[in-house]
């Protein structure tokens, strides 16, 4: 199991970090944060598809084509942890090496969206204050790593749950003899 989990987790990390990093480099500070979030989650889903692959490989190679939900979930969550760790470490490396003003850019984009939203001025001011507080906390690397992990881990959890549920049915993509 260790080999499958490690290989699939690392492949997921490479896919996610590679595509996300390329998007960051190509977009620079000129990216629309509203659209890049959706694209980022699509990239996560693509990379985390390795969870399904890993559970299926483990089921077929080590368990004779049959896997229980809990064992499938365990494999999926371990792959998720490796991919999450890779994603967090890559983001931290980017934040340190690029002398990034990511949060300033994100905050400015958020404020522009608020100002164009038509919400009452009091609500806008309250949300701007909340965003400024978040931006201040984001300077703390431990907080930032937690936030970054919370971007990807829930996606991996959902894919792990779905994959484990689907692959417990040995008739779904059965093992070839």
Q: Is residue 41 part of a domain?
A: yes
Contact 25, 60 (CB under 8 A): no
Domain-embedded: residue 142: no
Residue 65 lies in a domain: yes
Asked whether residue 44 is assigned to any structural domain, the reply reads yes
The reply to whether 26 falls in a domain is yes
Boundaries of domain holding 162: 2-98+152-167
Check residue 29 and give its pLDDT. Answer: 53
What is the predicted pLDDT for the residue at 130? 92
Going through the chain in order, the beta strands assigned E by DSSP cover none
CB neighbour burial string for 89-104, b if at least 16 within 10 angstroms, e if fewer:
ebbeebbeeeeeebbe
Evaluate whether 9 touches 83 at the Cβ level (below 8 Å): yes
Residue 145 domain-assigned (yes or no):
no
Q: Domains in the chain: how many in total?
A: 1
Distance CA 54, CA 163 (A): 10
| 99-125 pLDDT, tens digit each | 667 788 888 888 888 888 888 888 889
- Per-residue confidence in pLDDT tens, the chain, 177 aa: 999 999 999 999 999 999 988 887 777 655 455 567 888 899 999 999 999 999 999 999 999 999 999 999 999 999 999 999 999 999 999 888 876 677 888 888 888 888 888 888 888 899 899 999 998 999 899 999 999 999 999 999 999 999 999 999 999 999 876
In a domain, 143, yes or no: no
Query: Rounded to whole angstroms, how far apart are CA atoms 32 and 105?
Result: 9
Q: Is residue 53 part of a domain?
A: yes
CA distance 100 to 133: 18
Angle made by CA atoms 42, 48, 53, in degrees to the nearest 5? 130
CA pair distance 95, 124, nearest whole angstrom: 28
């Amino acid at each position: 199991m260790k080999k499958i989990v490690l290989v699939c987790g690392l492949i997921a990390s490479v896919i996610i970090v590679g595509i996300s990093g390329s998007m960051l480099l190509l977009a620079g500070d000129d990216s629309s944060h509203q659209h890049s979030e959706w694209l980022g989650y699509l990239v996560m889903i693509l990379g985390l598809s390795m969870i399904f692959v890993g559970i299926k490989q483990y089921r077929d190679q080590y368990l004779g084509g049959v896997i229980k939900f809990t064992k499938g979930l365990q494999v999926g969550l371990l792959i998720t942890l490796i991919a999450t760790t890779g994603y967090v470490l890559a983001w931290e490396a980017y934040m340190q090496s690029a002398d990034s003003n990511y949060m300033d850019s994100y905050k400015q984009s958020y404020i522009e969206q608020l100002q164009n939203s038509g919400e009452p001025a009091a609500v806008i001011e309250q949300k701007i204050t909340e965003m400024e507080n978040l931006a201040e906390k984001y300077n703390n690397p431990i907080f930032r790593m937690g936030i970054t992990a919370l971007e990807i881990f829930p996606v991996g959890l959902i894919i792990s749950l779905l994959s484990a549920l689907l692959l417990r049915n040995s008739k779904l993509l059965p093992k070839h003899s």
